[in-house]
Amino acid sequence: MKGHDMIAALTLLILSPLAGVQGQEHKTQDVQPDHRPTVVACAWEDGSGQKVCVWDAKHQGNGSGQSLLIVNGGTDRALYLPIRHRLAHRLTH
């Protein structure tokens, strides 16, 4: 994991309990269940009205641009963290 993805992952880890982010249980053969956080997709590109959401630029809007992890979207305290498409896709599915 590199740069922005690491910052986004740490931010999500810290904010998960506060924002109601839920764990998703994935079972694999001969391995303990993997509890992976899932985040709702942003309804709007700026994340308005959502505490934590992911804008997956490849699958939302016009299909181009930067994917983002958004905290407090649409407010004066908003945090927009650029993330790779792969991480955005993993977080929302």
pLDDT in tens, 25-35: 444 444 445 55
Q: Specify the DSSP class assigned to residue 39.
A: -
d(CA 63, CA 9): 23
Q: Is the pLDDT of residue 88 over 60?
A: yes
Burial of 56 (0-12, 13-18, 19+ CB in 10 A): buried
d(CA 59, CA 20): 24
| Confidence at residue 25, expressed as pLDDT on a 0 to 100 scale | 46
Range 60-67 average pLDDT: 92
Task: Count other Cβ atoms within 10 Å, centred on residue 29.
Answer: 4
Q: Which residue has the higher pLDDT, 11 or 61?
A: 61
Copy the structure tokens of residue 35: 């509890």
pLDDT category at 70 given cuts 50, 70, 90 is very high
| Confidence at residue 26, expressed as pLDDT on a 0 to 100 scale | 44
